[in-house]
Chains A and B, each alone.
Chain A
Amino acid sequence: MKHDMIGDPLNRVDGRLKVTGGATYSGEYKIPGLTYGVLVPATITSGTLVSMDTKAAERAPGVLAVITPFNAPKVPGFQPGAAKPVKGLKLFNDDQVHFNGQPIALVVAETFERATYAASLVKATYKAAPFETDFHKNFDKGVVPNEGKYKDYVRGEADAYKNAPVIVEQDYMLPSEMHNPMELHVTIAFWDGDDKVTLYTKSQGVIGSQRAIAGAFGLDPANVQINSRFVGGAFGSSLRTWPHEFAAVQAAKLVKRPVKLTLTREQMFTLVGYRPLTIQKIGLGAAADGKLVGITHESHSQTAVYEEFTENAVNVSRFLYASPNANTRYKVVPLNVGVPAPMRGPGEATGSFALESALDELSYKLKLDPIELRLRNYTYTDPERNLPWSSKFLKECYQQGSERIGWDKRPAEPGTLRDGEWMVGYGIGCGAFGAYRSKTSAKIKLLPDGTVNIQSATSDIGPGTATSMTLIAADTLGIPADKITFELGNSSFPVAPTQGGSQTCSSVGSAVHDVCVALKQKLNSLAGLPTDSTAAIDYSSILQKLNLPVLELTQDSQAGDEAKNYSMYSFSAHFAQVYVHPLTGVVKVKKLVAVVDGGKIVNRKTASSQMIGGAVGGLGMVLTEEAVFDDRYGRYVNGNFADYHVPVNADVPDIEAIFIDKPDPIINPVGSKGLGEISLIGVAAAVANAVYNATGKRIRELPITPDKILTTT
Chain B
Amino acid sequence: MNPFNYSRSSAAAGAIQSLVKEPQAHLLAGGTNLIDLIKMGVVAPERLVDINPLPLKSVEKTAAGLHIGALATNSEVADHPLVLQDYPLLSLAINAGASPQLRNMATVGGNMMQRTRCNYFFDTAMPCNKRVPGSGCGALEGYNRMHALFGASDHCIAVNPSDMNIAMVALGAVVHVRGPKGERTIPFGEFHRLPGDHPEKDNTLERTELITAVELPASAAAFRNHSHYLKVRDRSSYAFALVSVAAALDMDGTTIKGARLAMGGVAHKPWRLHEPEAFLKGKPATEATFRQAAEIAMQGAKAYRYNKFKLTLAPNAILLALQTASA
Contact = CB atoms under 8 A, between A and B. Distances in A.
B238 interface: yes
A544 to B, nearest CB: 56
Contacts of B235: 623-624, 645, 647-648, 650-651
B232 A706 contact: yes
Interface in B290-327: 308-310, 312-313, 316-317, 319-320
Contacts of B240: 642
B1 A707 contact: no
A632 B313 contact: no
Interface string A96-118: 00001000000000000100110
Contacts of A120: 1-2, 41
B316 A710 contact: yes
Contact of B117 (A633, A642, A707): A642
Interface string B231-258: 0111111111010000000000000000
A651 B239 CA distance: 12
A43 B126 CA distance: 9
Contact of B316 (A584, A635, A647): A584
Interface in B77-110: none
A628 B312 CA distance: 23
Contacts of B122: 640
A632 B143 CA distance: 10
Nearest to B307: A707
A117 B236 CA distance: 36
Nearest to B3: A117
A706 B1 CA distance: 36
Contact of A706 (B2, B143, B234, B320): B234
Contact of A43 (B125, B141, B239): B125
B187 interface: no
A586 B232 contact: yes
Contacts, number: 89
Interface string B111-143: 000000101101101100000000000100111
Interface in A609-654: 623-624, 628, 630, 632-633, 635, 637-638, 640, 642-643, 645, 647-651
B143 A630 contact: yes
Contacts of A638: 119, 143
B1 to A, nearest CB: 6
B237 A648 contact: yes
B212 to A, nearest CB: 30
A60 to B, nearest CB: 9
A632 B142 contact: yes
A710 B309 contact: yes
B20 to A, nearest CB: 28
Contact of A117 (B2, B119, B126, B230): B2
Nearest to B141: A632
A113 B38 CA distance: 12
Contacts of B310: 707
A711 interface: yes
Nearest to A626: B234
B145 A707 contact: yes
Interface in B31-66: 41
B236 A648 contact: yes
Contact of B234 (A43, A624, A630, A711): A624
Contacts of A584: 230, 232, 313, 316-317, 320
B262 to A, nearest CB: 18
A705 B234 contact: yes
A649 B100 CA distance: 13
B301 to A, nearest CB: 15
Contacts of B145: 707
Contacts of A583: 316-317, 319-320
Interface in A567-599: 583-586, 588
B48 to A, nearest CB: 15
Contact of B309 (A624, A651, A707): A707
Given A583-B316, A585-B313, A637-B119, A630 B232 contact: no
B21 to A, nearest CB: 25
A628 B142 CA distance: 11
A33 B316 CA distance: 60
Interface string A251-294: 00000000000000000000000000000000000000000000
Interface residues of B, number: 36
Contacts of B141: 632
B236 A706 contact: no
A586 B320 CA distance: 13
A642 B123 CA distance: 13
B131 to A, nearest CB: 14
B64 to A, nearest CB: 36
A685 B176 CA distance: 53
Nearest to A637: B119
A511 to B, nearest CB: 41
Contacts of A637: 119-120, 123, 126, 142-143
A648 B238 contact: yes
Given A633-B125, A711-B308, A650 B317 contact: no
B304 to A, nearest CB: 13
Contacts of A633: 125-126, 138
B4 to A, nearest CB: 11
B1 A117 contact: yes
B3 to A, nearest CB: 7
B82 to A, nearest CB: 28
Contacts of B2: 117, 120
A116 B317 CA distance: 44
Contacts of B308: 711
A61 B148 CA distance: 43
B191 to A, nearest CB: 24
Contacts of B138: 630, 633
Which of B123, B237, B308, B317 gathers most chain A CB within 10 Å? B123
Nearest to B236: A650
Contacts of B143: 628, 630, 637-638
B174 to A, nearest CB: 31
A592 to B, nearest CB: 15
B76 to A, nearest CB: 23
A39 B236 CA distance: 34
Greatest chain B CB density within 10 A among A43, A584, A633 is at: A584
Contacts of A624: 234-235
A108 B317 CA distance: 51
A583 B142 CA distance: 27
Nearest to B2: A117
A103 to B, nearest CB: 14
A43 B237 CA distance: 32
Interface in A424-448: none
Nearest to A639: B123
Nearest to B308: A711
B234 A116 contact: no
Listed residue (A116, A586, A630, A650) with the most chain B CB atoms within 10 angstroms of its CB: A630
B96 to A, nearest CB: 12
Given A120-B1, A637-B120, A710 B313 contact: yes
Contacts of A649: 237
Nearest to A584: B232
Contacts of A100: 125
Contacts of A588: 236
Contacts of B313: 584-585, 706-707, 710
B58 to A, nearest CB: 31
Interface of B: 1-3, 41, 117, 119-120, 122-123, 125-126, 138, 141-143, 145, 230, 232-240, 242, 308-310, 312-313, 316-317, 319-320
13 contacts: A584-B232, A632-B142, A635-B126, A638-B119, A640-B122, A645-B235, A649-B237, A650-B236, A651-B235, A706-B242, A706-B309, A707-B310, A711-B309
6 cross-chain pairs, A with B, having the tightest CB-CB distances, nearest first: A650-B236, A707-B309, A583-B316, A637-B119, A43-B125, A650-B237
Given A120-B1, A585-B309, A706-B232, 12 more contacts: A113-B1, A624-B235, A633-B125, A640-B122, A642-B240, A643-B119, A647-B235, A648-B236, A651-B236, A706-B233, A707-B145, A710-B309
